[in-house]
């Protein structure tokens, strides 16, 4: 695990968007607090202060301008069993690792994914990762969905984790994705500034909802095909399923995404068999985190990493670009 020594203090300034929420709910949104249960335990143990005074209740409602500060619990003993597996490392130094996550790989252990995650591979390759994320998330500063590919940064040390997490919290990290969506945007670019929250009944889904957390996605058309569009999406915030939920709210569901929109493939007229086979065979969301930029926590250098979409994504684009693929294609 990471080096020993005093645990750094964490800070969180309450913004108007989160005013009125419970303290444990807000605390659990911080990258260094893995869950609401962890937040409640920190408060119960007297580790959390509100405006300089020890907080006694997890249910305390917060006001804009309030400041929380806390000292994280020491990292729990690591119980995960490291597992060998391929890692495509883009950069590594004494403080962090930047890698290209393949589609189909879960980032950290979760219900239904106790083994075979990226964390298991990382621990086999590098046993000494930051412990702030806890037993199941050592070194994990941010995450990508299982079927989303692309650039991910992992912290080796606690100070690096703190610094990177603060950048994500302040929305200063530069993140850009490529995605294929069903539909034809009327404009060449646009911005979705709409709050996201849990669906009232489908609790695994995120939707645009009043009272949700502010979320901002900037999008731009890269290529147009008949019935399908290749977009670049830049995140200003980083909410769960943000791109998928925001685009779905525009009627532009991500190709291959079973959660946020049904494929209109059966309604596409005169689609070539080659294209139909390629689209129906793409069994994951066509979403790739192509760029990640941040300030190095030790050197202060501005870093930017970029990766090309994986082979299956590029192969699908090639099919869509091929002449005659969409001969007289129309949504009926």
- Banded model confidence at residue 1, pLDDT cuts 50, 70, 90: very low
CB atoms within 10 A of CB 278: 19
- Banded model confidence at residue 313, pLDDT cuts 50, 70, 90: very high
* Residue 86 predicted with pLDDT over 90: yes
- Cα–Cα distances in angstroms (integers) from residue 203 to residues 14, 30, 153, 196, in the given order: 25, 20, 28, 12
> Is it true that 88-169 and 174-331 share their CATH fold?
yes
What average pLDDT does this structure show over 57-74? 87
What's the topology of domain 88-169?
A: Pseudouridine synthase (3.30.2350)
Considering the four listed CATH numbers 3.50.50.60, 2.60.120.10, 3.90.550.10, 3.30.2350.10, the one that applies to the domain covering 174-331 is: 3.30.2350.10
What average pLDDT does this structure show over 115-140? 88
Tokens representing residue 221 in the block: 């058309």
Residue 173 pLDDT = 97
Residue 326 pLDDT = 45
What average pLDDT does this structure show over 239-244? 94
Residue 141 pLDDT = 94
The one catalytic residue in 45, 66, 93, 145 is 145
Tokens representing residue 100 in the block: 């290209």
Give CATH superfamily name and number for 10-70: RNA-binding S4 domain (3.10.290.10)
What average pLDDT does this structure show over 115-142? 89
* Residue 237 predicted with pLDDT over 90: yes
* Residue 275 predicted with pLDDT over 90: no
What average pLDDT does this structure show over 105-115? 85
Higher pLDDT pick, 326 / 174: 174
What average pLDDT does this structure show over 29-34? 76
Residues 176-198: tens digit of each pLDDT: 999 999 999 999 999 999 999 98
Terminal Cα distance for the chain, rounded? 57
Question: How far apart are alpha carbons 315 and 311 in whole angstroms?
Answer: 6
- Banded model confidence at residue 7, pLDDT cuts 50, 70, 90: low
Active site residue 145: yes
- Banded model confidence at residue 327, pLDDT cuts 50, 70, 90: very low
Sign of the CA dihedral 37, 42, 45, 48? negative
- Cα–Cα distances in angstroms (integers) from residue 117 to residues 34, 316, 317, 323, in the given order: 17, 26, 28, 40
Residue-range domain boundaries for the chain: 10-70, 88-169, 174-331
Question: How far apart are alpha carbons 247 and 117 in whole angstroms?
Answer: 28
């Amino acid at each position: 695990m990471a080096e020993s020594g005093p645990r750094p203090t964490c800070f969180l300034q309450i913004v108007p968007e989160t005013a009125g929420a419970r303290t444990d709910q807000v605390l659990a949104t911080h990258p260094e607090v893995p869950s609401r249960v962890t937040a409640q335990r920190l408060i119960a143990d007297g580790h959390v202060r509100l405006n300089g005074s020890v907080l006694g209740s997890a249910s305390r409602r917060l006001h804009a301008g309030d400041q929380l500060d806390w000292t994280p619990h020491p990292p729990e003993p690591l119980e995960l069993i490291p597992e060998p597996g391929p890692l495509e490392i883009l950069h590594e130094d004494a403080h962090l690792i930047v890698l290209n996550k393949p589609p189909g790989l879960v980032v950290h252990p979760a219900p239904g994914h106790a083994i075979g995650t990226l964390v298991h591979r990382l621990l086999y390759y590098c046993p000494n990762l930051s412990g702030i994320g806890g037993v199941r998330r050592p070194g994990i500063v941010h995450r990508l969905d299982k079927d989303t590919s692309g650039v991910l940064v992992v912290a080796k040390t606690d100070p690096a984790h703190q610094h990177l997490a603060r950048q994500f919290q302040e929305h200063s990290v530069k993140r850009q994705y490529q995605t294929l969506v069903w539909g034809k945007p009327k404009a060449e670019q646009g911005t979705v500034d709409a709050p996201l929250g849990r669906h009232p009944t489908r609790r695994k889904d995120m939707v645009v909802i009043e009272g949700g957390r502010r979320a901002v996605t900037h999008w731009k058309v890269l290529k147009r095909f008949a019935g399908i569009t290749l977009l670049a999406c830049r995140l200003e915030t980083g909410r769960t399923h943000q791109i998928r939920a925001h685009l779905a709210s525009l009627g532009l569901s991500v190709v291959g995404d079973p959660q946020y929109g049904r494929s209109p493939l059966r309604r596409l007229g005169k689609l070539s068999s080659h294209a139909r086979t390629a689209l129906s065979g793409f069994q994951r969301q066509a979403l790739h985190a192509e760029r990640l930029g941040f300030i190095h926590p030790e050197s202060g250098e501005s870093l930017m990493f970029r990766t090309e979409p994986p082979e299956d994504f590029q192969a699908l684009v090639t099919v869509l670009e091929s002449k005659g693929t969409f001969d007289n294609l129309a949504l009926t």
